[in-house]
């Protein structure tokens, strides 16, 4: 790793192949954050700023860390507090604003969270104008009842942000509709202050179905893929509500505000592995005309890929990264053949946990999987 860095620096100094992009280093399980107190950080998220600095946060999202060397070492940079006393900020999603929306210029870092306390869940938006050091509350997207996964309770969960057509879209999981144990919804804003009506993305016909945990990626054919855990009762006649299975499903739509019209498809992997729970999807340009759709789940070290824009079977690709609940995938913008995987605790983990990140040679791993 040090050698690679040295060689890269030498190339820079000698001016060798100035147009060739420099490869970034690969490594596994680098610690971003170790709470050292037995607590279990979970649900990690990162975002890359225009100058290459990477920010990271996790649940509870009170600290923001920063790396200036392609995710190899990390330092605290800022803190975020709820605007309402006593609320924890969990299930974060970071997004660098890439264009002006309302009064907020490109370069603003946005953070969507679930701000919860004993009596409510709240999808809230915060913003930073100084690359993650200080944060201000911008708006509340949606408010629900106390955190409670029983059907009939009314919380909201798990926001995901995307800019599209000059608007910010905030996707989230939604238990407030009496017709659905849980569904996936979104709302849009043109000023980061006011939010439009609740629009369904995935609302299945069976009441006890609980689609959850939206993430979205744009495909090279202009379509969008939304992955979700499709929580459904193992035994449909057992309506005791607790015996669920969470196979990862997806929908593909031309318009990321119109997933509701599309059909849910299960990810079928040739190896027979069933991706399960807390998925995260991205698209990589590796792999020819269609590039590669990459999905992480919560239960496997592997990721699952599709090089036919979502059609047909998926392939399992091994990674050196630890498993974790809602494990984030990112393509490093300065080396698109690589894949960065970031996660905290596994679901239900009892032992202490750290936030870990891995950068792997994805192109090589895909070729090995063939
Ligand atoms: C990027 O900008 C931030 C904020 O100004 C600065 O702290 C950081 O060091 C910069 N990163 C790099 C890699 O230069
Ligand atoms: C929230 O609930 C916990 C556990 O029941 C309790 O210890 C805590 O005091 C409550 N907090 C508030 C602000 O009511
Ligand atoms: C969770 O929600 C269910 C359904 O509304 C309710 O019966 C139960 O009392 C709630 N649990 C708690 C701890 O409030
Ligand atoms: C910002 O990102 C969104 C989503 O990727 C994209 O549709 C939009 O064109 C981008 N805006 C600019 C100015 O690049
Ligand atoms: C869950 O449902 C499956 C399939 O009906 C059954 O085999 C299993 O025993 C159930 N588990 C529990 C904890 O009820
Ligand atoms: C649960 O199933 C039983 C038997 O099928 C039915 O009588 C009951 O109404 C169901 N309860 C709910 C809440 O769906
Ligand atoms: C797809 O994968 C499944 C196993 O998960 C296998 O049974 C099936 O034959 C595969 N289909 C194709 C077309 O390869
Ligand atoms: C690209 O995707 C299409 C389906 O959308 C598929 O028919 C085609 O075989 C794919 N191309 C390659 C090179 O995998
Ligand atoms: C990363 O950590 C996970 C979990 O401890 C482990 O399974 C995996 O082997 C580690 N990777 C490497 C390359 O050591």
Taking only the tens place, the pLDDT of each residue in 275-319 is 999 999 999 999 999 999 999 999 999 999 999 999 999 999 999
Closest CA to 236 of 276, 265, 267, 209: 209
62: confidence class by pLDDT, cuts 50, 70, 90: confident
Which helix (H) or strand (E) element contains residue 11?
Answer: helix 2-14
Instruction: State residue 11's pLDDT score.
Output: 39
Q: Percent helix, strand, coil in the chain (nearest 5)?
A: 5, 45, 50
CB atoms within 10 A of CB 350: 9
Atom of ligand 7 nearest to the CA of 272: 5
Interval between CA 243 and ligand 5 midpoint (Å): 6
Closest listed ligand to the CA of 150: 3
Instruction: State residue 241's pLDDT score.
Output: 64
Q: Measured from the CB, is residue 359 less than 6 Å from ligand 9?
A: no
Is 60 in contact with 39 (CB distance < 8 Å)? no
Distance CA 211, CA 206 (A): 11
Closest listed ligand to the CA of 168: 4
* Tokens standing for residue 87: 């609320």
Mode of pairing for the β-strands spanning 355-361 and 27-33 = antiparallel
Please give the C-alpha separations between residue 276 and each of 100, 152, 280, 325, in angstroms, as whole numbers. 37, 24, 11, 10
Please give the C-alpha separations between residue 239 and each of 20, 173, 178, 182, 209, in angstroms, as whole numbers. 59, 21, 16, 14, 11
Q: Whose CA is nearest to atom 3 of ligand 9?
A: 322
Closest listed ligand to the CA of 147: 3
Interval between CA 108 and ligand 4 midpoint (Å): 14
pLDDT at 10 over 50: no
Instruction: State residue 303's pLDDT score.
Output: 98
Q: Whose CA is nearest to atom 10 of ligand 5?
A: 243
pLDDT at 19 over 70: no
Mode of pairing for the β-strands spanning 27-33 and 42-48 = unpaired
Ligand 2 pocket residues where CB is under 6 Å: 86, 118
Mode of pairing for the β-strands spanning 63-67 and 54-59 = antiparallel
Interval between CA 99 and ligand 4 midpoint (Å): 7
pLDDT at 21 over 60: no
Which helix (H) or strand (E) element contains residue 363?
Answer: helix 362-368
Mean pLDDT of 237-252: 88
Instruction: State residue 290's pLDDT score.
Output: 98
Instruction: State residue 229's pLDDT score.
Output: 98
Is 139 in contact with 124 (CB distance < 8 Å)? yes
* Tokens standing for residue 74: 């990390």
Q: Whose CA is nearest to atom 9 of ligand 6?
A: 239
pLDDT at 166 over 60: yes
Interval between CA 124 and ligand 3 midpoint (Å): 23
Atom of ligand 1 nearest to the CA of 69: 13
Which helix (H) or strand (E) element contains residue 244?
Answer: strand 244-245
Residue 368: is it exposed, middle or buried by C-beta count within 10 angstroms (0-12/13-18/19+)?
Answer: exposed
Atom of ligand 2 nearest to the CA of 118: 1
Ligand 1 pocket residues where CB is under 6 Å: 49, 51-53, 68, 131
Interval between CA 150 and ligand 3 midpoint (Å): 6
Alpha helices (runs of H) in the chain, residue ranges in sequence order: 2-14, 362-368
Atom of ligand 5 nearest to the CA of 243: 1
3-state DSSP call for residue 302? Answer: coil
Please give the C-alpha separations between residue 310 and each of 190, 230, 256, 259, 302, in angstroms, as whole numbers. 31, 17, 16, 15, 18
Atom of ligand 8 nearest to the CA of 221: 5
Enter the DSSP assignment of 261. G
Mean pLDDT of 218-240: 92
Distance CA 278, CA 275 (A): 9
Taking only the tens place, the pLDDT of each residue in 26-37 is 999 999 999 999
CB under 8 Å to 105, separation ≥6 — which residues?
Answer: 97
Closest listed ligand to the CA of 84: 2
Instruction: State residue 370's pLDDT score.
Output: 81
Q: Measured from the CB, is residue 153 less than 6 Å from ligand 3?
A: yes
Distance CA 98, CA 291 (A): 23
pTM > 0.85: yes
Instruction: State residue 20's pLDDT score.
Output: 52
Instruction: State residue 8's pLDDT score.
Output: 42
Atom of ligand 4 nearest to the CA of 98: 1
Interval between CA 360 and ligand 9 midpoint (Å): 13
Quick one: fold of 23-369?
Answer: Neuraminidase (2.120.10)
Atom of ligand 9 nearest to the CA of 301: 7
Taking only the tens place, the pLDDT of each residue in 112-147 is 999 999 999 999 999 999 999 999 999 999 999 999
């Amino acid at each position: 790793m040090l050698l690679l860095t040295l060689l890269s620096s030498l190339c820079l100094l000698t001016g060798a192949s100035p147009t060739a992009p420099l490869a970034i280093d690969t490594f596994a399980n680098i610690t971003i954050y170790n709470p050292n107190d037995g607590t279990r950080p979970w649900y990690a998220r990162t975002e890359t700023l225009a100058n290459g600095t990477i920010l990271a946060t996790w649940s509870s999202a009170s600290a923001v860390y920063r790396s200036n060397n392609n995710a190899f070492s990390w330092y605290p940079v800022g803190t975020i507090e709820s605007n309402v006393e006593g609320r924890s900020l969990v299930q974060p999603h970071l997004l660098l604003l890439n264009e002006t929306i309302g009064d907020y210029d490109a370069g603003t870092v946005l953070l969507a969270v679930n701000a919860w306390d004993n009596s409510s869940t709240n999808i809230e938006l915060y913003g930073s104008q100084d690359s993650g050091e200080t944060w201000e509350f911008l708006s509340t997207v949606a408010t629900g009842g106390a955190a409670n996964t029983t059907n009939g309770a009314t919380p909201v969960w798990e926001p995901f942000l995307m800019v599209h057509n000059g608007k910010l879209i905030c996707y989230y999981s939604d238990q407030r509709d009496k017709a659905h144990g849980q569904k996936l919804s979104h709302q849009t804003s043109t000023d980061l202050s006011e939010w439009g009506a609740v629009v369904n993305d995935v609302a299945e016909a069976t009441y006890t179905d609980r689609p959850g945990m939206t993430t979205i990626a744009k495909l090279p054919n202009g379509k969008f893929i939304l992955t979700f855990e499709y929580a459904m009762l193992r035994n449909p006649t057992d309506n005791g509500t607790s015996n669920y299975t969470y196979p990862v499903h997806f929908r593909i739509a031309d318009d990321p505000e119109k997933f509701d019209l599309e059909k849910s498809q299960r990810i079928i992997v040739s190896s027979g592995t069933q991706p399960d729970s807390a998925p995260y999807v991205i698209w990589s340009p590796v792999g020819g005309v269609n590039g590669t759709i990459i999905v992480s789940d919560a239960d496997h070290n592997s990721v699952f890929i599709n090089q036919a824009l979502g059609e047909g079977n998926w392939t399992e690709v091994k990674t050196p990264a630890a498993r974790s609940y809602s494990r984030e995938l990112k393509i490093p913008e300065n080396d698109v053949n690589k894949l960065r995987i970031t996660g905290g605790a596994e679901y239900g983990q009892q032992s202490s946990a750290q936030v870990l990140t891995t950068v792997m040679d994805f192109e090589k791993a895909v070729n090995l999987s063939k």
